[in-house]
Structure 1
Amino acid sequence: MDANRGFTAAEAIRFGRALADEDLWFFEEPVLPEDPDAYTRVRAALDVPIAGGESEFTRWGFHDFLARGPVDILQPDATACGGIRETLLVAGMASAHGVPTLPHVWGSAITVAAGLHLMTALPTVVPSMARERPHVELDQAPNVFRDELSDLACGPVMAVPHGPGLGIEIDLSVIERHRP
């Protein structure tokens, strides 16, 4: 459930309790990212795991964010937090706090490909035989820059692309078609 920063802490708690029987995987970005205390209140009041961090920048911002204990799942966005290398540094810091990382992915096929590559390199928080397979967030809204920009086939099951760079081929005609 992605609230997309749509609630106050009190509203998020009320909403989360109303969905308590829905067996949600996690409640993403329930409150404004600039208010980590609100995240902490929501996390303390609900049983569903709280996810967030897509709007945080660099490991220094994540250091302060993680120190408050606001989330059960950290969602850095490589396009916002400083690239793939910085995301991996953030994920390592999150693992030291016992928080798994699920990269936030939104936008183009380029960001999806980066997210797939990140999933292969994320640190294990706690060794477990019950661990789920890695996941990449995939927005379902129509998006020509995700669906037509490259040769990456986006869907419920995706393979990590191989080849130079991120392993995808960009179709420049898609960019030309949408140039203002």
Structure 2
Amino acid sequence: MHLAAVSLGSYFAFELARQLLEAGRELGVLALFDAEGPAGRRRVQGRARLGAHLGLLRRMGPAYLGHVARHRIETLRNSFERRRLEWTGGGGSLSIEALIAANQQSVDRYTPDPLATPLTVFRAGDDLFDSPEALTQGLGWAPVAAAGFELIEVPGSHLSILQEPNVQDMARHMTRIMQRSDPQ
């Protein structure tokens, strides 16, 4: 059996893998797509951060400014929803923002035990903000990767790694690692 998930969903896949192994089931690949691990994903700071922003501005042009503004608004909305959920105890209607906030709260409260199966961590290559430490720590998964991890950089941004044409590169890597993990 192989498991894969993107972003926050990686925590669900990680826990499912832990429970499957605990129940004596075999697990092939556990692939985590551009997900920040429990140890955090260190970001570049100072001049390196400014350089990353300038690089993206050169690459995307003025559209990058809109991207930054949308990201800031999304971050504020998520922060507001998380606080609202804390204050209301989760009552009320569940908007997409509330669902994302509730999932983030669950991840924040989750303390995973190390997993005795190798992890495959895919990193969005268009992300210029990962620090060298983030890369050596498998985007924060190293402390729970008791059997080690492989970090694979793929083209695209956080979610575009799963869209054409980037998904073709992802598929090639997944095929290779699934064949490698299957007993012959």
Q: Calculate the TM-score normalised by the size of structure 1.
A: 0.36
Larger Rg: 2
Q: Which has the higher contact order (CA 8 A, sep 6+)?
A: 2
Q: Which of the pair is proportionally richer in helix?
A: 2
More strand by share: 2
